[in-house]
Chain A
Protein backbone atom coordinates (compact mmCIF):
# COMPACT_ATOMS: atom_id res chain seq x y z
CA UNK A 1 0.00 0.00 0.00
CA UNK A 2 1.21 3.49 0.48
CA UNK A 3 3.85 2.49 2.97
CA UNK A 4 5.22 -0.14 0.66
CA UNK A 5 5.23 2.32 -2.18
CA UNK A 6 7.32 4.73 -0.12
CA UNK A 7 9.69 1.98 0.96
CA UNK A 8 10.15 0.98 -2.62
CA UNK A 9 10.71 4.57 -3.62
CA UNK A 10 13.34 4.98 -0.95
CA UNK A 11 15.10 1.88 -2.13
CA UNK A 12 14.98 3.03 -5.74
CA UNK A 13 16.31 6.45 -4.81
CA UNK A 14 19.07 4.96 -2.77
CA UNK A 15 20.08 2.50 -5.44
CA UNK A 16 20.18 5.18 -8.09
CA UNK A 17 22.60 7.22 -5.98
CA UNK A 18 24.95 4.27 -6.13
CA UNK A 19 24.28 3.36 -9.73
CA UNK A 20 24.91 6.88 -10.91
CA UNK A 21 28.17 6.99 -9.02
CA UNK A 22 27.28 9.62 -6.47
CA UNK A 23 27.91 7.26 -3.60
CA UNK A 24 30.20 4.33 -3.07
CA UNK A 25 30.68 1.48 -0.67
CA UNK A 26 31.80 3.72 2.18
CA UNK A 27 28.27 5.11 2.43
CA UNK A 28 27.03 1.57 2.95
CA UNK A 29 29.63 1.17 5.69
CA UNK A 30 28.09 4.14 7.44
CA UNK A 31 24.60 2.76 7.01
CA UNK A 32 25.76 -0.44 8.66
CA UNK A 33 26.77 1.55 11.71
CA UNK A 34 23.25 2.78 12.19
CA UNK A 35 21.00 0.96 14.61
CA UNK A 36 17.97 1.56 16.78
CA UNK A 37 20.05 3.39 19.34
CA UNK A 38 21.64 5.54 16.63
CA UNK A 39 18.98 5.78 13.93
CA UNK A 40 20.20 9.06 12.47
CA UNK A 41 23.87 8.36 12.35
CA UNK A 42 24.25 8.65 8.59
CA UNK A 43 22.29 11.85 8.42
CA UNK A 44 24.39 13.31 11.22
CA UNK A 45 27.60 12.44 9.46
CA UNK A 46 26.34 13.80 6.17
CA UNK A 47 25.21 17.01 7.84
CA UNK A 48 28.65 17.41 9.41
CA UNK A 49 30.21 16.78 6.06
CA UNK A 50 28.22 19.49 4.33
CA UNK A 51 28.84 22.00 7.05
CA UNK A 52 32.57 21.25 6.91
CA UNK A 53 32.77 21.20 3.16
CA UNK A 54 30.82 24.42 2.76
CA UNK A 55 33.43 26.10 4.89
CA UNK A 56 36.22 24.58 2.84
CA UNK A 57 34.57 25.74 -0.37
CA UNK A 58 34.53 29.28 0.96
CA UNK A 59 38.21 29.01 1.87
CA UNK A 60 39.10 27.73 -1.57
CA UNK A 61 37.11 30.47 -3.23
CA UNK A 62 39.02 33.06 -1.26
CA UNK A 63 42.32 31.41 -2.00
CA UNK A 64 41.51 31.36 -5.71
CA UNK A 65 41.10 35.10 -5.65
CA UNK A 66 44.64 35.72 -4.51
CA UNK A 67 47.30 35.74 -7.16
CA UNK A 68 49.72 34.18 -7.52
CA UNK A 69 47.77 31.15 -6.42
CA UNK A 70 48.99 29.47 -3.29
CA UNK A 71 48.94 25.90 -4.59
CA UNK A 72 50.15 24.53 -1.31
CA UNK A 73 47.24 25.97 0.56
CA UNK A 74 44.81 24.94 -2.14
CA UNK A 75 46.15 21.43 -2.11
CA UNK A 76 45.79 21.39 1.62
CA UNK A 77 42.14 22.42 1.50
CA UNK A 78 41.44 19.88 -1.18
CA UNK A 79 43.16 17.20 0.80
CA UNK A 80 40.78 17.84 3.67
CA UNK A 81 37.83 18.01 1.32
CA UNK A 82 38.83 14.81 -0.35
CA UNK A 83 39.35 13.11 2.96
CA UNK A 84 35.91 13.81 4.28
CA UNK A 85 34.25 13.10 0.93
CA UNK A 86 35.93 9.78 0.95
CA UNK A 87 34.79 9.10 4.49
CA UNK A 88 31.14 9.47 3.60
CA UNK A 89 31.42 7.70 0.27
CA UNK A 90 30.86 10.82 -1.84
CA UNK A 91 32.43 9.31 -4.92
CA UNK A 92 31.92 11.98 -7.57
CA UNK A 93 32.90 14.79 -5.23
CA UNK A 94 36.02 12.93 -4.23
CA UNK A 95 36.98 12.34 -7.84
CA UNK A 96 36.62 16.00 -8.66
CA UNK A 97 38.80 16.85 -5.65
CA UNK A 98 41.46 14.52 -6.97
CA UNK A 99 41.31 16.28 -10.33
CA UNK A 100 41.75 19.58 -8.60
CA UNK A 101 44.77 18.28 -6.75
CA UNK A 102 46.31 17.19 -10.04
CA UNK A 103 46.01 20.73 -11.35
CA UNK A 104 47.53 22.02 -8.12
CA UNK A 105 50.50 19.75 -8.57
CA UNK A 106 50.85 20.98 -12.11
CA UNK A 107 50.52 24.56 -10.85
CA UNK A 108 47.85 25.15 -13.43
CA UNK A 109 45.76 28.22 -12.56
CA UNK A 110 43.03 27.72 -15.13
CA UNK A 111 42.88 24.02 -14.49
CA UNK A 112 42.37 24.63 -10.80
CA UNK A 113 39.62 27.14 -11.36
CA UNK A 114 37.77 24.89 -13.75
CA UNK A 115 38.23 21.85 -11.56
CA UNK A 116 36.92 23.76 -8.60
CA UNK A 117 33.77 24.67 -10.49
CA UNK A 118 33.18 20.98 -11.01
CA UNK A 119 33.83 20.27 -7.35
CA UNK A 120 31.23 22.83 -6.40
CA UNK A 121 28.77 21.45 -8.91
CA UNK A 122 29.08 17.88 -7.73
CA UNK A 123 28.96 19.03 -4.14
CA UNK A 124 25.73 20.94 -4.72
CA UNK A 125 24.16 18.07 -6.64
CA UNK A 126 25.01 15.57 -3.95
CA UNK A 127 23.68 17.86 -1.27
CA UNK A 128 20.39 18.20 -3.08
CA UNK A 129 20.05 14.49 -3.67
CA UNK A 130 20.97 13.47 -0.14
CA UNK A 131 18.66 16.03 1.41
CA UNK A 132 15.83 14.66 -0.69
CA UNK A 133 16.79 11.12 0.23
CA UNK A 134 16.85 11.81 3.95
CA UNK A 135 13.56 13.60 3.78
CA UNK A 136 11.76 10.58 2.47
CA UNK A 137 13.68 7.96 4.35
CA UNK A 138 13.34 9.33 7.87
Chain B
Protein backbone atom coordinates (compact mmCIF):
# COMPACT_ATOMS: atom_id res chain seq x y z
CA UNK B 1 0.00 0.00 0.00
CA UNK B 2 2.71 2.43 0.88
CA UNK B 3 5.51 3.19 -1.51
CA UNK B 4 8.96 2.03 -0.76
CA UNK B 5 10.98 4.79 0.68
CA UNK B 6 14.54 4.79 1.75
CA UNK B 7 15.65 7.10 4.46
CA UNK B 8 17.57 10.03 3.18
CA UNK B 9 21.09 9.02 4.13
CA UNK B 10 22.89 11.25 6.55
CA UNK B 11 25.93 11.24 4.39
CA UNK B 12 26.22 11.19 0.63
CA UNK B 13 24.45 8.44 -1.20
CA UNK B 14 26.97 5.77 -2.02
CA UNK B 15 26.40 3.93 -5.26
CA UNK B 16 28.06 0.77 -6.43
CA UNK B 17 28.11 0.82 -10.24
CA UNK B 18 28.80 -2.36 -12.16
CA UNK B 19 29.57 -2.38 -15.88
CA UNK B 20 32.06 -4.26 -18.01
CA UNK B 21 32.36 -1.39 -20.48
CA UNK B 22 35.00 1.15 -19.52
CA UNK B 23 33.24 3.92 -21.40
CA UNK B 24 29.95 3.20 -19.66
CA UNK B 25 31.62 2.97 -16.29
CA UNK B 26 33.16 6.39 -16.76
CA UNK B 27 29.89 7.87 -17.89
CA UNK B 28 27.80 6.44 -15.08
CA UNK B 29 30.42 7.46 -12.59
CA UNK B 30 30.29 11.05 -13.82
CA UNK B 31 26.51 11.06 -13.91
CA UNK B 32 26.38 9.87 -10.32
CA UNK B 33 29.02 12.29 -9.10
CA UNK B 34 27.20 15.19 -10.69
CA UNK B 35 24.12 14.19 -8.73
CA UNK B 36 26.20 14.28 -5.55
CA UNK B 37 26.67 10.59 -5.08
CA UNK B 38 29.77 8.80 -3.97
CA UNK B 39 30.63 6.16 -6.50
CA UNK B 40 32.46 2.88 -6.52
CA UNK B 41 32.65 1.52 -10.04
CA UNK B 42 33.59 -2.07 -10.73
CA UNK B 43 33.88 -4.03 -13.93
CA UNK B 44 32.06 -7.25 -13.18
CA UNK B 45 29.51 -9.00 -11.04
CA UNK B 46 32.24 -10.92 -9.28
CA UNK B 47 34.11 -7.76 -8.38
CA UNK B 48 30.87 -6.33 -7.08
CA UNK B 49 30.30 -9.37 -4.88
CA UNK B 50 33.88 -9.16 -3.70
CA UNK B 51 33.40 -5.55 -2.79
CA UNK B 52 30.25 -6.35 -0.89
CA UNK B 53 31.89 -9.27 0.85
CA UNK B 54 29.44 -11.67 -0.72
CA UNK B 55 31.93 -13.62 -2.77
CA UNK B 56 32.44 -16.27 -0.16
CA UNK B 57 29.88 -18.98 0.23
CA UNK B 58 29.13 -18.65 3.89
CA UNK B 59 26.20 -19.91 5.81
CA UNK B 60 26.01 -16.95 8.14
CA UNK B 61 25.72 -13.37 7.03
CA UNK B 62 29.05 -11.75 6.56
CA UNK B 63 29.16 -8.21 7.78
CA UNK B 64 31.58 -5.85 6.21
CA UNK B 65 32.03 -3.30 8.91
CA UNK B 66 31.43 0.25 7.87
CA UNK B 67 30.43 -0.61 4.32
CA UNK B 68 27.53 1.55 3.36
CA UNK B 69 26.01 0.99 -0.05
CA UNK B 70 22.78 2.80 -0.74
CA UNK B 71 22.20 1.78 -4.31
CA UNK B 72 23.57 -0.73 -6.76
CA UNK B 73 23.30 0.02 -10.43
CA UNK B 74 24.38 -2.68 -12.82
CA UNK B 75 24.55 -3.44 -16.48
CA UNK B 76 22.54 -6.44 -17.56
CA UNK B 77 24.76 -7.94 -20.26
CA UNK B 78 28.11 -8.73 -18.77
CA UNK B 79 30.42 -11.64 -19.42
CA UNK B 80 30.69 -14.17 -16.62
CA UNK B 81 27.92 -13.00 -14.38
CA UNK B 82 25.01 -11.07 -15.81
CA UNK B 83 23.38 -8.20 -13.99
CA UNK B 84 20.40 -10.45 -13.44
CA UNK B 85 22.53 -13.06 -11.71
CA UNK B 86 24.16 -10.36 -9.62
CA UNK B 87 20.73 -9.06 -8.71
CA UNK B 88 19.69 -12.50 -7.51
CA UNK B 89 22.78 -12.87 -5.40
CA UNK B 90 22.26 -9.49 -3.81
CA UNK B 91 18.60 -10.13 -3.13
CA UNK B 92 19.54 -13.51 -1.71
CA UNK B 93 21.96 -12.02 0.78
CA UNK B 94 20.97 -11.09 4.28
CA UNK B 95 23.21 -8.05 4.38
CA UNK B 96 22.34 -6.39 1.12
CA UNK B 97 18.94 -7.61 0.09
CA UNK B 98 17.36 -4.35 1.11
CA UNK B 99 19.66 -2.28 -1.04
CA UNK B 100 17.85 -1.11 -4.16
CA UNK B 101 19.26 -2.54 -7.36
CA UNK B 102 18.77 -0.86 -10.71
CA UNK B 103 19.46 -2.65 -13.97
CA UNK B 104 20.76 -0.93 -17.10
CA UNK B 105 20.54 -2.43 -20.54
CA UNK B 106 21.00 -1.31 -24.10
CA UNK B 107 18.14 -3.59 -25.06
CA UNK B 108 14.59 -2.73 -24.27
CA UNK B 109 13.17 -6.21 -23.90
CA UNK B 110 9.96 -6.38 -21.92
CA UNK B 111 10.50 -9.97 -20.82
CA UNK B 112 13.91 -9.03 -19.52
CA UNK B 113 12.57 -6.02 -17.68
CA UNK B 114 9.81 -8.11 -16.13
CA UNK B 115 12.21 -10.79 -15.04
CA UNK B 116 14.44 -8.26 -13.33
CA UNK B 117 11.59 -6.51 -11.62
CA UNK B 118 10.20 -9.82 -10.44
CA UNK B 119 13.54 -10.66 -8.95
CA UNK B 120 13.41 -7.44 -6.97
CA UNK B 121 15.09 -4.86 -9.15
CA UNK B 122 13.95 -1.41 -8.29
CA UNK B 123 14.08 0.00 -11.77
CA UNK B 124 15.31 -0.67 -15.24
CA UNK B 125 17.07 1.93 -17.35
CA UNK B 126 17.59 1.63 -21.08
CA UNK B 127 21.01 2.77 -22.20
CA UNK B 128 22.45 5.16 -23.04
CA UNK B 129 21.90 6.49 -19.55
CA UNK B 130 21.10 10.16 -19.33
CA UNK B 131 21.50 12.62 -16.52
CA UNK B 132 17.73 12.86 -16.19
CA UNK B 133 17.56 9.10 -15.56
CA UNK B 134 20.03 9.32 -12.72
CA UNK B 135 18.45 12.42 -11.21
CA UNK B 136 15.04 10.84 -11.32
CA UNK B 137 16.30 7.71 -9.65
CA UNK B 138 18.09 9.55 -6.92
CA UNK B 139 15.20 11.87 -6.28
CA UNK B 140 12.57 9.22 -5.87
CA UNK B 141 14.78 6.93 -3.88
CA UNK B 142 16.43 9.37 -1.58
CA UNK B 143 14.43 12.53 -1.86
CA UNK B 144 14.84 15.49 -4.15
CA UNK B 145 16.67 17.38 -1.44
CA UNK B 146 19.69 15.13 -1.78
CA UNK B 147 20.23 15.98 -5.40
CA UNK B 148 22.05 19.17 -6.26
CA UNK B 149 21.00 19.92 -9.76
CA UNK B 150 22.90 21.94 -12.27
CA UNK B 151 19.68 23.01 -13.95
CA UNK B 152 16.76 24.71 -12.37
CA UNK B 153 14.62 21.99 -10.83
CA UNK B 154 11.86 20.80 -13.00
CA UNK B 155 8.53 19.77 -11.60
CA UNK B 156 8.84 16.14 -12.47
CA UNK B 157 11.88 15.61 -10.34
CA UNK B 158 10.40 17.35 -7.38
CA UNK B 159 7.18 15.44 -7.42
CA UNK B 160 8.21 12.95 -4.85
CA UNK B 161 9.29 14.33 -1.54
CA UNK B 162 10.48 12.40 1.44
CA UNK B 163 7.38 12.97 3.48
CA UNK B 164 5.19 11.88 0.65
CA UNK B 165 3.53 8.58 1.23
CA UNK B 166 2.08 6.44 -1.42
CA UNK B 167 -0.52 8.57 -3.04
CA UNK B 168 0.02 7.91 -6.68
CA UNK B 169 1.01 11.17 -8.21
CA UNK B 170 0.03 12.01 -11.73
CA UNK B 171 2.29 10.62 -14.37
CA UNK B 172 5.84 11.10 -13.19
CA UNK B 173 8.82 12.08 -15.28
CA UNK B 174 9.23 10.23 -18.54
CA UNK B 175 9.77 6.54 -18.11
CA UNK B 176 13.33 5.52 -17.72
CA UNK B 177 13.07 3.47 -20.83
CA UNK B 178 13.45 6.33 -23.23
CA UNK B 179 14.61 6.59 -26.02
CA UNK B 180 12.65 3.53 -27.00
CA UNK B 181 9.41 4.09 -28.75
CA UNK B 182 7.67 1.02 -27.45
CA UNK B 183 4.78 1.46 -25.07
CA UNK B 184 6.00 2.40 -21.69
CA UNK B 185 7.11 -0.72 -19.86
CA UNK B 186 6.41 -1.15 -16.17
CA UNK B 187 8.90 1.18 -14.55
CA UNK B 188 8.61 0.42 -10.93
CA UNK B 189 8.79 3.95 -9.62
CA UNK B 190 7.18 3.91 -6.19
CA UNK B 191 4.66 6.53 -6.97
CA UNK B 192 3.41 4.95 -10.13
CA UNK B 193 1.27 2.41 -8.40
CA UNK B 194 0.36 1.79 -4.83
CA UNK B 195 1.35 -1.82 -4.90
CA UNK B 196 3.78 -2.98 -7.52
CA UNK B 197 2.04 -5.80 -9.35
CA UNK B 198 4.90 -8.16 -9.96
CA UNK B 199 7.54 -7.17 -7.51
CA UNK B 200 7.85 -8.83 -4.20
CA UNK B 201 10.30 -6.76 -2.23
CA UNK B 202 12.14 -9.82 -1.06
CA UNK B 203 11.77 -13.36 -2.23
CA UNK B 204 11.22 -14.72 1.25
CA UNK B 205 8.21 -13.70 3.23
CA UNK B 206 10.37 -11.91 5.74
CA UNK B 207 8.57 -9.01 7.35
CA UNK B 208 9.99 -5.58 6.98
CA UNK B 209 9.90 -4.05 10.44
CA UNK B 210 13.26 -3.49 12.07
CA UNK B 211 13.14 -6.60 14.16
CA UNK B 212 13.39 -8.80 11.12
CA UNK B 213 16.61 -10.71 11.44
CA UNK B 214 18.14 -12.00 14.63
CA UNK B 215 21.77 -11.62 13.58
CA UNK B 216 21.40 -7.90 13.21
CA UNK B 217 22.63 -6.01 16.18
CA UNK B 218 20.98 -2.70 17.05
CA UNK B 219 23.90 -0.76 15.59
CA UNK B 220 23.41 -2.58 12.31
CA UNK B 221 19.80 -1.54 12.28
CA UNK B 222 20.86 2.05 12.39
CA UNK B 223 23.29 1.53 9.58
CA UNK B 224 22.01 2.86 6.28
CA UNK B 225 23.07 -0.41 4.75
CA UNK B 226 20.15 -2.00 6.46
CA UNK B 227 17.78 -0.20 4.21
CA UNK B 228 14.70 -1.12 6.19
CA UNK B 229 11.42 0.40 5.38
CA UNK B 230 10.67 2.94 8.03
CA UNK B 231 7.11 3.40 6.93
CA UNK B 232 4.31 1.16 8.04
CA UNK B 233 4.90 -1.01 5.09
CA UNK B 234 1.91 -2.89 4.05
CA UNK B 235 3.72 -4.46 1.20
CA UNK B 236 0.96 -6.21 -0.60
Contacts and interface: CB of A to CB of B under 8 A. Distances in A.
B115 interface: no
Interface string A84-97: 10111100000000
B23 A49 contact: yes
Interface stretch (B27-35, B88-96, B198-206): B27-35
Contacts of B112: none
Contact of A48 (B26, B106, B131, B150): B26
A29 B21 CA distance: 18
A124 interface: no
B23 A87 contact: yes
A33 B30 contact: yes
A29 B131 contact: yes
Contacts of A84: 21-24
A75 B23 CA distance: 19
A83 B77 CA distance: 10
Interface stretch (A11-19, A38-46, A110-118, A125-133): A38-46
B27 A87 contact: yes
Given A38-B30, A79-B77, A82-B106, A45 B131 contact: no
A41 B30 contact: yes
Interface centre among B26, B31, B77 (most CB of A within 10 A): B26
Interface in B135-194: 150
A61 interface: no
A49 to B, nearest CB: 5
Interface of A: 26, 29-30, 32-33, 35, 38, 41, 44-45, 48-49, 52, 79-80, 82-84, 86-89
Interface of B: 20-24, 26-27, 30-31, 34, 77, 106, 127-131, 150
25 contacts: A29-B131, A32-B131, A32-B150, A33-B27, A33-B30, A38-B30, A45-B27, A48-B26, A52-B22, A79-B77, A80-B21, A83-B21, A83-B24, A83-B106, A83-B127, A84-B21, A84-B23, A86-B106, A86-B127, A86-B128, A87-B24, A87-B27, A87-B127, A87-B129, A88-B23
